[in-house]
Amino acid sequence: MNTYKTLVTSVAAALLLGSIANVNAGSPMSSYMENALVDVCKSAQSNNTIRFSKAVDSYRLKTKTVALKVVCNGENIADFAANSGALKTADRLNKSIGDVSIEDVALNNSDKIYVNF
């Protein structure tokens, strides 16, 4: 009787987990979102910053958000544009992220935290 309960519990748990996985896998991206991302990726690849700006603006996106979150063919969008020869667009995307330098933090010695134990 114990093995029967274990078997039933295991099967029920497997069915529950399987149904959860199917719900997540069954909800693909909407066609509008897919078309928007494809359009933004193609405009980034075109090396035409005006076309890229129009594509981003037409979908009410921010260039910084696109630069940080959009992936085209497995690469972040700035690398995708640069690898496609679209250096103007890649430069625009990289500038939108801003400059972060590790040297600035490393040169400031007064902010070091010393721990003795």
Note whether 52 and 43 are within 8 A (CB): yes
Of residues 26, 36, 42, the one with CA closest to residue 86: 42
The C-alpha atoms of residue 97 and residue 68 are separated, in whole angstroms, by 7
19 within domain boundaries: no
Q: Give the residue-averaged pLDDT of 88-92.
A: 92
113 within domain boundaries: no
Using the predicted structure, report yes or no on whether residue 40 has a pLDDT greater than 80.
Answer: yes
Q: What is the span of the domain harbouring residue 58?
A: 31-99
Q: Give the residue-averaged pLDDT of 39-68.
A: 92
46 within domain boundaries: yes
Check: pTM over 0.75? Answer yes or no.
no
pLDDT-derived band of residue 59, with 50, 70 and 90 as boundaries? very high
The C-alpha atoms of residue 91 and residue 53 are separated, in whole angstroms, by 13
112 within domain boundaries: no
The C-alpha atoms of residue 103 and residue 108 are separated, in whole angstroms, by 9
Question: pLDDT over 70 for what percent of the chain?
Answer: 61
Using the predicted structure, report yes or no on whether residue 32 has a pLDDT greater than 80.
Answer: yes
73 within domain boundaries: yes
10 within domain boundaries: no
Is the pLDDT higher at 37 or at 20? Answer: 37
35 within domain boundaries: yes
Using the predicted structure, report yes or no on whether residue 29 has a pLDDT greater than 50.
Answer: yes
